[in-house]
Amino acid sequence: MTPRKPAAKPTVAAALPARTTTASLPAVAEATVSPPLPSRNPLDQKFHAAIARTTMSVSPMSLLLATVDWAGHLAGSPGKRLELITLAQEHARRLVEYAGQLALASPGNPAERCVEPVPQDRRFAGEEWERWPFNLMHQSFLLAEAWWQAATTGVAGVSCHHEHVVSFAARQLLDLFSPGNYLPTNPIVLRRSFETAGINLVRGAMNAAEDLQRLALGDPPAGTENFVVGREVAVTPGKVVLRTPLMELIQYSPATAQVHPEPILIVPAWIMKYYILDLSPHNSLVKYLVGQGHTVFCVSWKNPGPAERDMGMDDYLQLGFFAALDAINAIVPGRKVHAAGYCLGGTLLAIANAAMARDADDRLATMTLFTAQTDFTEPGELALFIDEGEVSLLEAQMEEVGYLTAGQMAGAFQLLRSYDLLWSRMVGEYLMGERAPMNDLMAWNADTTRMPARMHSQYLRQLFLNDALSEGRYRVGGRPVALSDIDTPVFAVATLTDHVAPWRSVHKLHYLLPSEIHFVLTNGGHNAGIVSEPGRPRRHYQSLTREAGGNYIPPDDWLALAPQHEGSWWPEWSAWLTARSGMPVPPPEAGAAELGYPVLCDAPGTYVLEK
């Protein structure tokens, strides 16, 4: 097969002067900045922004529409209402029977529960919850949850989105009244208070006061001071060899005498600091790859502020991915690149690869996607916060400040995992008086970033709301791109318990791309499943290759066919890359000053330090 030649199109590297300086780059950015967001009535904009501030960016109108849809259709469904009345009577009967059994129970004759929690529900797992009256409390609560789940689902005529919103809202309200969240109704907290003579409550009050003070001052959570960027985390040696208005490109120093000739370019999501892939030395994916003889480059995105408000998706492509690719082509000439993208960075990489295929640009050897979606018809629980009303409200708020704040994003994720991220933390730290030990992943998670108003609006509208990428309607450079044009081999990683990019959504690559796809499904969540170093306990994954042009394998069939492996998936990825690389060669020098890519500073650079 004759290799395709890159199309003769201007690149960012070509547009830059021979010696790249930060002073010269704003002119390039100005040439590529997209038009500002569409204007709206100033009074409406201020009013909508005020609503967003008071409702944590949750659209009350969207919630009202969902409630009216559900309540109206429920009112017109007498059969469903009769089922719910019957279910309530059955729950009441079972609870009364359970209370009677408790009165007669003994160690050798325990009462039979009237409802069992799902396996992953840890709220009432302690043996203290089996004692009266706490057993009756938690069984009553679980029955109420089951009734409301039945009441908010399966109502004929209710739209799928509205059903999910109402069901989610009901769960959040019920969580508020869980007996495990309060001192008088939590037997574990009561026992601890008795054992410590209330010292746990004193410590909890001190923890709450410290957290409130940190919140007021804008300081990070307690314990993050033990994970300083460049000291404990993000310490893999390297050099910054390019700086644009949106990113710094880090070239990591070789750790072996020879390296695989094809370099790796990692594109993380701009919603996160890049060093999730370079945490502590023991769990750094970057360090692992360098140790396996790979030349690694990584994009470190700028933390945008008001000045970047009009930066759009095209800017992230040109001043991010393509600028990095041009630099790597200059530093490692004549070699194709293994490109890897994480989350939104993976979506951006897929867009870039489709545009390159359209333009006959064959500079990529392979494409790796970590928990990255390319079809957004089933985006998971985040879809609860994405409809026209929500997006319009977010746009009004972003228009005022120029970006989406970290607090807005954190609030949405806390609601999605309210027990893990909110209630269990409050019980543990404020009632039990125990600070959860801070680790590097938690410290990274607290090191938040922002997103430019225009980019985030485009991302939500074009990808989430309109699903333009999977349907061949997404435009790059004014022309649509199609994922079906991509022919580079793909290594895709999804995680079992991902709330952001559900694995079945990631799996849709199988019918969008005709190329070879090596799909890996690992245990863990969106972040912990990726930070899964060799030697970490309780790690396992499944993997299966669909050859180029092969038939579509539905997700449930894939799950049944894919063999299971113990341990980390990192070695399998490294071996997959090695099999698609040439014979080892001496490592390249850092940067290429003569071509406009001098060494600017040591890793981790300056953008990652911006708050």
How many C-beta atoms lie closer than 10 Å to residue 380's C-beta? Answer: 19
DSSP summary character for residue 170: H
Q: Which of 114, 160, 298, 343 is catalytic?
A: 343
Cross-strand partners of 249 = 242, 299
Report the alpha-carbon distance of residue 554 to residue 546 in Å, rounded. Answer: 11
DSSP summary character for residue 248: E
Rounded to whole angstroms, the maximal C-alpha distance in the chain is 87
Q: Is 516 helix (H, G, I), strand (E, B) or coil?
A: coil
CB burial of 113-133 (b: ≥16 within 10 Å; e: otherwise) equals ebbebeeeeebbeeeebeeee
Report the alpha-carbon distance of residue 495 to residue 506 in Å, rounded. Answer: 9
- Does 114 participate in catalysis according to the annotation? no
How many C-beta atoms lie closer than 10 Å to residue 594's C-beta? Answer: 10
Nearest one of 193, 224, 196 to 210, comparing CA atoms? 224
Nearest one of 382, 388, 369, 437 to 412, comparing CA atoms? 382
Q: Is the peptide bond before 604 cis (omega within 30 degrees of 0)?
A: yes
Report the alpha-carbon distance of residue 298 to residue 341 in Å, rounded. Answer: 10
Q: Is 307 helix (H, G, I), strand (E, B) or coil?
A: helix
CB burial of 524-548 (b: ≥16 within 10 Å; e: otherwise) equals bbbbbbbbbbeeeeebbbbbbebee
3-state secondary structure 273-298: CHHHHCCCHHHCHHHHHHHCCCCEEE
DSSP summary character for residue 7: P
Q: Token match 């895709």: residue?
A: 492
Cα–Cα–Cα angle for 428, 434, 435, nearest 5°? 95
Please answer whether residues 489 and 516 qualify as being in contact, where contact means their C-beta atoms are separated by less than 8 angstroms: yes
Backbone angles phi, psi at 288, to 5 degrees: -65, -45
DSSP summary character for residue 177: T
Amino acid (1-letter code) at residue 121: D
Report the alpha-carbon distance of residue 420 to residue 452 in Å, rounded. Answer: 29
How many C-beta atoms lie closer than 10 Å to residue 441's C-beta? Answer: 17
Element of type H or E holding 480: strand 479-480
DSSP summary character for residue 585: B
- Catalytic positions, written as ranges: 343
